[in-house]
Structure 1
Amino acid sequence: MKTAIFAVALALSSIGAAQADSINGLVNTGAAAGLVDSNYTLSSNVSYVTANDGAFPFPYWSANTSTSRWIMPTALQGETFDPNSNGTYTWHLGFDLSGFDAASASFSGRFAADNAATAYLNGHALGTTYGFGESSWASLSASSYFVNGVNSLDFVVTNYAQNGGNPAGLRVEFNSSNITAVPEPETYAMLMAGLLLVGVVARRRKA
Structure 2
Amino acid sequence: MTLFARTSIAAAAALFSGLAAAASIGGLVNTGAGQSTGSTDTNYKYTATGNAAGLSGFGVVSNGNADPFPSWLPNTSSSSWLIPGADQNTNYSPTGNSTFTWTLNFDLTGFDASSASFSGHWAADNNGVLLLNGVAISSISGQRGYADWTSFSASSGFLAGVNTLQFVVTDTVDQTYNFTGLRAEFLSSNVNAAVAPAVPEPHTYALMLAGLGALGFIARRRRS
The TM-score with structure 2 as length reference comes to 0.80
Q: Give the drift of 1:117.
A: 1.1
RMSD: 2.5
* Structure 2 CA distance for partners of 1:194 and 1:164, relative to 1, 3 Å: farther
Unmatched segments (≥5 aa) in structure 2: 48-55, 218-224
Counterpart residue number, 1:82:
93
* Structure 2 CA distance for partners of 1:194 and 1:122, relative to 1, 3 Å: same
Mapping of residues 1-207 of structure 1, within 5 Å: 1=4, 3-8=7-12, 15-16=18-19, 18-34=20-36, 35-43=39-47, 45-50=57-62, 52-130=63-141, 131-134=144-147, 136-185=148-197, 188-190=198-200, 194=204, 196-200=206-210, 203=213
CA distance in 2, matches of 1:116, 1:39: 21
Greater Cα offset, 64-73 or 26-35: 26-35
Letter in 1 for 2:29: V
Cα deviation code 1:98-151 (max 9, x no counterpart): 1111111110000110000100000001111133444x2111111111111000
CA distance in 1, matches of 2:89, 2:164: 28
CA distance in 1, matches of 2:203, 2:61: 55
Q: Give the drift of 1:194.
A: 3.7
% identical equivalent positions: 44
Unmatched segments (≥5 aa) in structure 1: none
Q: Give the drift of 1:177.
A: 0.5
Larger Rg: 2
SS at match of 1:189: coil
